[in-house]
Amino acid sequence: MNSLRYISISHKSATLAGRERYHFSAKEKKNLIDSLRDKFGGIDGLLVLVTCNRTEVYFESAGVSASEMRDFLIASTMGEVIESEIPLIRISDTTRETVLQLLEVSSGLASSVLGDAEIIHQIRMAYRQSCELQLQGSLLERSMQTIFRAHKRISNETGFRDGTTSVAYKSLKLIANSFGKSGKNQAKILFIGAGNIVKQLLNYNNKFGFSSVFIANRTAEKAEELTQKYGGDTIPWEQVLANEFNDFSVIVSAVSNRTNIVHSITEKNRKTLLIDLAVPGNINNRLSEESHIELYNLDSIAKVLDENRHQRLESIEQVQEIIYEGLMEYLTWLEAAPKRIQMAQYKNEVDRWVQDYLREKGIQLSNTKLKTATNRIVRKSYKKNGVAIPVREMESILVEHLY
């Protein structure tokens, strides 16, 4: 019998350096999915979630264990199974624990920024990929329905997501606090990258109103597209590669697969704020040793600027109750699964009996009447806890729908 299982490496189990080793670009993620399908044939559902703070694999299988999946991930990443890596990856083989994990992650309850509003969108995108690859599975599909319902309830019934809760928003708030109201228009900001995080930064800037914003990206056309939509200017990618940042007081970097791209700030007579939102990191950590530089990464930025935390903390009990109710609904559905399978098989048998009966009697029946009669027989069986309806009784029900 299938179980829904998971493996997870996140800020709760590993430092940023540990998480970086298991972070995958979009292309690498697709390759990982292909590798998992090739390695483990007995997987009916598969979802791979990769964010800046976590990499998780949710899968539906009867025979593949979470420890096998974890060891394969470690070996694929490190070249072999290294014992010291095992504690970094949390695992579960039970459907109950896996659905609970999904509910807590999707709600933002398990996020480094409590109540993170972006995680549910990232899960939707991961699930969309699963569907496109026909890897949704019945247990996984039902769990997605459960978390989306819980998400809607949390948004509508609690104050857990009141205020903006995302790393991008927190970064802009950090800049605003660092330079103050008087310096807001003087801060010259460079965003490096053109992915989702930079788009969020530019979108939230409508609220903050930083007027001197520049974008640099490996593909210049993408940077131009963002400036046309959100405003601002671009700088050449070559300037980033050369670390020519003398004009900028703030650098926010979010480029995939480019470690150490920011490694030198030559201007020493002005405070420079560096914010590294990439995994693996883009900014050399040694820059934080210089007195005129403030450096924040994903771990440190999550610890500051949580002005709505008190309100969200007060809502945690409500969120936990919604999660519990969602979990109980899922388990009730799961418990009834064998009966659903039995009734589906019985419906096929009834369908065949009805077709044979009508053929033998030389009777034609409209599809609507045929469906109504069949469903009535099956419902009667369901009410009798799956006991098959005697032939004479089935015939009586069918006759009622002949005229």
Asked, for residue 182, whether it belongs to a domain, the answer is: yes
Torsion on CA atoms 100, 104, 110, 116, rounded to nearest 10: 160
pLDDT confidence of residue 29? 94
Asked, for residue 319, whether it belongs to a domain, the answer is: yes
Q: Do 57 and 191 lie in a common domain?
A: no
Asked, for residue 149, whether it belongs to a domain, the answer is: yes
- Mean pLDDT, the chain, rounded, equals 88
Asked, for residue 323, whether it belongs to a domain, the answer is: yes
User: How many residues are there in the chain?
Assistant: 403
pLDDT confidence of residue 182? 65
Q: Which backbone phi and psi does 60 adopt, to 5 degrees?
A: -115, 120
Q: Do 383 and 266 lie in a common domain?
A: no
Asked, for residue 306, whether it belongs to a domain, the answer is: no
pLDDT confidence of residue 164? 56
Q: Do 330 and 354 lie in a common domain?
A: no
Per DSSP, the residues of 221-269 read HHHHHHHHHH--EE--HHHHHTT--TT-SEEEE--TT-TTSB------S
**CA 101, 106, 109, 114 torsion-angle sign:** positive
Q: Do 238 and 272 lie in a common domain?
A: yes
Structure tokens at 317: 């009990």
CA dist 302 and 114 (Å) reads 9
Q: In Å, how far are 168, 215, 217, 291 from 224, measured between CA atoms?
A: 20, 8, 9, 34
CA dist 200 and 204 (Å) reads 6
pLDDT confidence of residue 306? 55
Asked, for residue 307, whether it belongs to a domain, the answer is: no
Percentage of the chain modeled with pLDDT above 70 = 94
Q: Which CATH number does the domain housing residue 31 bear? A: 3.30.460.30
pLDDT confidence of residue 304? 62
CA dist 100 and 44 (Å) reads 20
N-to-C CA span, the chain:
44
**Radius of gyration over every alpha carbon of the chain, rounded to an integer in angstroms:** 27
Q: Do 42 and 124 lie in a common domain?
A: yes
Q: Which CATH number does the domain housing residue 215 bear? A: 3.40.50.720
Q: Do 255 and 236 lie in a common domain?
A: yes
Q: Do 115 and 27 lie in a common domain?
A: yes
Cis peptide preceding 280, ω within 30 of 0? yes
Unique residue bearing structure tokens 């290294």: 82
Q: Do 129 and 240 lie in a common domain?
A: no
| Cα angle value 8/13/19 (rounded, 5°) | 70
**Closest alpha carbon to 45 in 58, 32, 56, 34:** 58
Structure tokens at 150: 């819980």
Q: Do 102 and 65 lie in a common domain?
A: yes
Q: Do 159 and 188 lie in a common domain?
A: no
Beta strands 189-192; 250-253: pairing state = parallel
Q: How many CB atoms lie within 10 A of CB 72?
A: 19
Q: Do 117 and 173 lie in a common domain?
A: no
| Domains identified in the chain, total number | 3
Q: Do 103 and 182 lie in a common domain?
A: no
Question: pLDDT for 353-363, tens place per residue?
Answer: 888 888 888 88
Q: Which helix (H) or strand (E) holds 100?
A: helix 95-107
Contact 9, 66 (CB under 8 A): no
Asked, for residue 206, whether it belongs to a domain, the answer is: yes
Question: Who's near 243: CB < 8 A, 6+ residues apart?
Answer: 262, 263, 264, 265, 266
Per-residue pLDDT in tens (0 to 9) along the chain, 403 residues: 789 999 999 999 999 989 999 999 889 999 999 999 999 988 999 999 999 889 999 999 999 999 999 999 999 999 999 999 999 999 999 999 999 999 999 999 998 877 787 899 999 999 999 999 999 999 999 999 999 999 999 988 887 865 556 788 889 988 988 887 766 677 899 999 999 899 999 999 988 889 899 999 999 999 999 999 999 999 999 999 999 998 899 999 999 888 999 999 988 888 899 999 998 899 999 999 998 999 999 888 876 655 556 667 778 889 999 999 999 999 999 988 777 777 777 788 888 888 888 888 888 877 777 777 788 887 887 777 777 888 888 888 887 766 6
Question: pLDDT for 104-156, tens place per residue?
Answer: 999 999 988 777 878 999 999 999 999 999 999 999 999 999 999 999 999 88
Domain that holds residue 176: 167-301
Asked, for residue 369, whether it belongs to a domain, the answer is: yes
pLDDT confidence of residue 183? 65
